Amino acid sequence: MDNLTHSLVGALLGQAGLKRKTGLAMPTLIIAANIPDIDAVAVLLGGDQHLALRRGLTHGPVAMLLLPLLLWGIMLWFDRWQSMRGTRPEKRLPVHAKWLLALAYIGCLSHPLFDWFNSYGIRLLEPFSSQWFYGDTIFIIDIWLWIALVAGVWLSLRGERRGTPNWRMPALMSMFAIFLYIAANGLITGRAEQLTGKAVQSQFGIVPAMVVANPVPVQFWKREMLWRDSNHYGQGTFSAPDAVMLDPKIGQHRMTDVSALAEMSRDKNAKAYLFWSRMPILREEQRGSSKVRILTDQRFGNPMVQDRFRVEVPAPRTAQ
C-alpha cells in the first residue's frame, strides 16, 4: 500500500488505545508501520532492477524480527538523549521498554499485512523463499480505506481532546469497518475469479491456468479480469455480484519462447523484470531498421502506468 495508508494504520492503532501504554508510542507505531519500505532506496540502482528488490528482504521474517528491535533501540536512545539535554516534553508519558518494543513489532507487522492485500505482490518468506504472494483484494491506493482511517483517527483525537471517556471508540469502530471492507473485497475477488474462469471456458473453450481479479481505483465492486493459459491471454471486467464481460480479443504471451527468454535473461534489467513479473508478456516491435523485444505485465496494462512497468531489449540480428 501507499505510505499514507501505512502511516494512518499506525496512527489508528495508537488512537485505539495503544498510545497510552508508553511514551513515544504514537511515533513508534507510525514509523514502524513504514520502516519495511526502506527498500525503496533500490530505485537508485536505475533500470528495472529495483523491481526484483522491492517487497522482499525488508518485508520477510528476518526483517520483521530485526527492524522493530532497531527502531526500539533508536526510540529508547532518543528519549534518553532528550532527557540529558533537558528537552524532553513534560507531558510525555514514561517510556516502558517492553511496551515500546511490543508496539514496534505491532506497527511493523501491519506493513506486510496491508501490502499483501493488493495485486503488486510481496515475498513474505524472503530470504528463505523468493515466492511471491498476492492478495488481489484492494487497490494499492484505496480512497475508501483512506476515508475510514482518517475518520477513525480524527474523531478519536477530537474526543480525546474534549475529554470524552470513550474517545477510543471511533478508532475501534473504524478498525471494525476496515475489517469488514477488506473481507467483502476478498469475497468479491473470489467470486470474480470463479465466474471469469467459467466464462473463459464457455466462450473460448479454454481452461485458464491463471485468473486474476485486479482491483481498480474507487470502484471497489469492480475488477479488471486477467486470464491466461500456457499460450494465450485475455482480459475482461467484473462487476459485483455476477456481471462478467470478456474482451473478444485473445493474444499470445509467448512465455513458451524458450530461446527468446534465454536471450533476454542475459540482460540484467530483463532478468530482474522476469523475476518480478506475475503475468509477463513478450512481444517484438520494429524500430527503424532494428527490432526490440518488450516485456510487459498484464496487471499494468493501463496507459497511465504501463511505461513504468516494462523493459526493452534489442532483439538479436538474424543472418540474411
Q: How far apart are CA 212 and CA 201, in angstroms?
A: 15
Q: What is the mean pLDDT of the chain?
A: 91
In a domain, 209, yes or no: no
In a domain, 44, yes or no: yes
Q: How far apart are CA 233 and CA 44, in angstroms?
A: 33
Tell me the average pLDDT across 87-111: 95
Higher-confidence position of 71 and 259 = 71
Query: Would you place residue 319 in the very low, low, confident or very high pLDDT band (cuts 50, 70, 90)?
Result: very low
**Predicted confidence (pLDDT) at residue 316 exceeds the cutoff of 80:** no
Query: What pLDDT, in 10s, does the model give residues 289-310?
Result: 788 888 889 998 776 666 778 8
Name the most confidently modeled range: 39-43, 133-137, 314-318: 133-137
Question: Cell triple for residue 45?
Answer: 540502482
Q: Which domain holds residue 66?
A: 3-135
Predicted confidence at residue 320, as pLDDT, reads 41
pTM of the model: 0.90
Query: Would you place residue 251 in the very low, low, confident or very high pLDDT band (cuts 50, 70, 90)?
Result: very high
Query: What pLDDT, in 10s, does the model give residues 18-35?
Result: 999 999 999 999 999 999
Question: Cell triple for residue 186?
Answer: 476478498
State the pairing for strand pair 290-297/222-228: unpaired
Q: How far apart are CA 266 and CA 261, in angstroms?
A: 9
Q: How far apart are CA 253 and CA 266, in angstroms?
A: 20
Q: Is the dihedral of CA 8, 87, 81, 96 positive or negative?
A: negative
State the pairing for strand pair 251-252/310-314: unpaired
Least confident of 9-13, 49-53, 253-257: 49-53
Our count of domains for the chain comes to 2
Tell me the average pLDDT across 258-284: 85
**Predicted confidence (pLDDT) at residue 138 exceeds the cutoff of 90:** yes
Predicted confidence at residue 85, as pLDDT, reads 93
Tell me the average pLDDT across 163-174: 95
In a domain, 287, yes or no: yes
In a domain, 151, yes or no: no
Burial class (CB in 10 A: 0-12, 13-18, 19+), 137: buried
Tell me the average pLDDT across 28-47: 85
**Cα dist from 163 to 160, 167, 293, 314, whole Å:** 5, 8, 64, 66
In a domain, 56, yes or no: yes
Query: Would you place residue 53 in the very low, low, confident or very high pLDDT band (cuts 50, 70, 90)?
Result: confident
Predicted confidence at residue 48, as pLDDT, reads 65
In a domain, 19, yes or no: yes
Burial class (CB in 10 A: 0-12, 13-18, 19+), 86: exposed
Which of 135, 162, 189 is a domain's end point? Answer: 135
Query: What pLDDT, in 10s, does the model give residues 185-237?
Result: 999 999 999 999 999 999 999 999 999 999 999 999 999 999 999 999 999 99
In a domain, 147, yes or no: no
Q: In this structure, are residues 284 and 294 in contact, taking their beta carbons and an 8 Å threshold?
A: yes
Predicted confidence at residue 52, as pLDDT, reads 77
Which of 115, 135, 155 is a domain's end point? Answer: 135
Cβ-proximal residues to 287 (8 Å cutoff; 6+ apart), any chain: none
In a domain, 277, yes or no: yes
Q: In this structure, are residues 250 and 226 in contact, taking their beta carbons and an 8 Å threshold?
A: no
Which of 110, 135, 160 is a domain's end point? Answer: 135
Q: How far apart are CA 173 and CA 154, in angstroms?
A: 12
